[in-house]
Amino acid sequence: MEVNYPQPKGKDGIVEVFNYSAKDGSEENKVSIPVRFTAVEAETVKVFFSNSAKDPAALNCSKTYAVERRVPQTVAVARAAVEELLSGPTTAERNVGYFTSINEGVKIQRLTIKNGMAEIDFDATIEQALGGSCRVAAIRSQITETLKQFPTVKKVVISVNGRVADALQP
């Protein structure tokens, strides 16, 4: 398992793993593990989510808001950004209203960027239980805005299992 985290403020830290109680939301079975951080070359990317606090009436389904994520430095930074998007909002982000319309467990099958165009292909999980044009607009916006943060991307083409024409339809 891989976990990204904000830049540590020191050399030592603690990783805590726990479950939330279905009964009352409290932390259960908590395990704390001391860790020592090593220097990692990293960069910051933006991922885009909807936000119920910033747009409480949900007047514009395709309106998304950026949050920053720290990822290990890589030549595939666009893919890393989309992987962060697919991981969904963190607990802290959810606490201030961020949410995703993208199904859990979605996988990127292919991502290429050429001549200003990003072509991204997802597995069928992205379309499971998909209903409503508002949700589709939100998903498309989250993906498109996340990719268009990069100066090499001017246009985004989304496909599912190689299908472009009918991909992500309500």
What's the pLDDT score for residue 131? 76
Asked if residue 25 belongs to a domain, the reply is no
Q: What is the pLDDT of residues 53-96, one digit of tens each?
A: 988 877 788 999 999 999 988 999 999 999 999 999 998 999 99
**For 84, phi and psi rounded to 5 degrees?**
-65, -40
Provide the 8-state DSSP code for 8: P
In this predicted model, which residue has the larger pLDDT, 47 or 20?
47
Asked if residue 63 belongs to a domain, the reply is yes
What's the pLDDT score for residue 3? 64
In this predicted model, which residue has the larger pLDDT, 11 or 64?
64
Asked if residue 139 belongs to a domain, the reply is yes
Asked if residue 122 belongs to a domain, the reply is yes
**For 106, phi and psi rounded to 5 degrees?**
-65, 140
What's the pLDDT score for residue 45? 96
Q: What is the pLDDT of residues 22-38, one digit of tens each?
A: 888 888 898 888 888 77
Domain range enclosing 148: 42-160
d(CA 101, CA 103): 6
Asked if residue 104 belongs to a domain, the reply is yes
Bridge partners for 19 per DSSP: 28
What's the pLDDT score for residue 129? 84
Asked if residue 166 belongs to a domain, the reply is no
| pTM of structure | 0.81
What's the pLDDT score for residue 125? 95
Q: How many domains does the chain have?
A: 1
Asked if residue 70 belongs to a domain, the reply is yes
Q: What is the pLDDT of residues 101-159, one digit of tens each?
A: 999 999 999 999 999 999 999 999 999 887 778 899 999 999 999 999 999 999 999 99
In this predicted model, which residue has the larger pLDDT, 16 or 106?
106
CA 41 vs CA 28, 74, 95, 157, 166: distances in Å: 34, 9, 29, 30, 40
> What is the rounded average pLDDT for all residues in the chain?
90
For the record, the structure tokens of 39 come out as: 């220097």
CA 44 vs CA 51, 72, 145, 169: distances in Å: 21, 9, 15, 32
What's the pLDDT score for residue 2? 58
